[in-house]
Amino acid sequence: MKRAFLAEVIATALLVGIGLGAVHVAILTQSLDLPAVAGCWGGAVILLIAVAGPVSGAHANPAVTIALACMRRFPWSKVGPYILAQFIGALAVAGLLHRRHLNTGTSIPSALSRRDTGHHDHLVCSLRHQGRDAPGP
């Protein structure tokens, strides 16, 4: 169980680190577009399955763990430890990303508010594809 716990921590950390890292780069530097960010999320899923799949099944998400338990494909006795591992992995990496970008002098909300898109400021508007504005609210 210790190996599976560690595998879930690593799998979830990979997913959150690569995925949210790409979102941070896209918003703060405008150097990635939406397809690139989506590719990073997809690549993270491929990597976490390769790394953790043989050890823990690579759930990397409490919803997956609970769904498998509900379908009787995963023992309920392991649900709690798996979810704890997933939270540890996600929160650790999210904290690292926050700390990393905290010292840049730019936050995601301030980066979004500086953009003059003419539309609501949220992720869809900030990840414009090929310079086209996203549709309005």
Low-confidence ranges of the chain (pLDDT < 70): 101-137
For 64-102, write each residue's pLDDT tens digit: 999 999 999 999 999 999 999 999 999 999 888 887 766
Q: How far apart are CA 100 and CA 96, in angstroms?
A: 6
pLDDT of residue 25: 85
> Is the residue at 123 inside a domain?
no
Per-residue model confidence (pLDDT) at position 42 = 94
**Inside any domain, residue 115:** no
Cα 108 to the chain's mean position, in Å? Answer: 15
pTM of the prediction?
A: 0.71
126 assigned to some structural domain: no
Q: Is residue 9 part of a domain?
A: yes
Extract the tokens encoding 28: 């703060």
The parent domain of residue 20 ranges over 2-106
Contact present, 27 and 44 (Cβ < 8 Å): no
**CATH at residue 59:** 1.20.1080.10
Domain-located, residue 113: no
- Got the DSSP string for 47-95? HHHHHHHHHH----SHHHHHHHHHTTSS-GGGHHHHHHHHHHHHHHHHH
Domain for residue 124, yes or no?
A: no
Beta carbons of 43 and 21 less than 8 angstroms apart: no
Domain count, the chain: 1
Evaluate whether residue 34 is within a structural domain. yes
Q: What integer pLDDT is reported at residue 78 of this predicted model?
A: 94
Whole-number pLDDT of residue 136: 47
User: Rg of the Cα trace of the chain?
Assistant: 17
Q: Is 133 part of any domain? A: no
**Integer Cα distance of 110 and 128 in angstroms:** 17
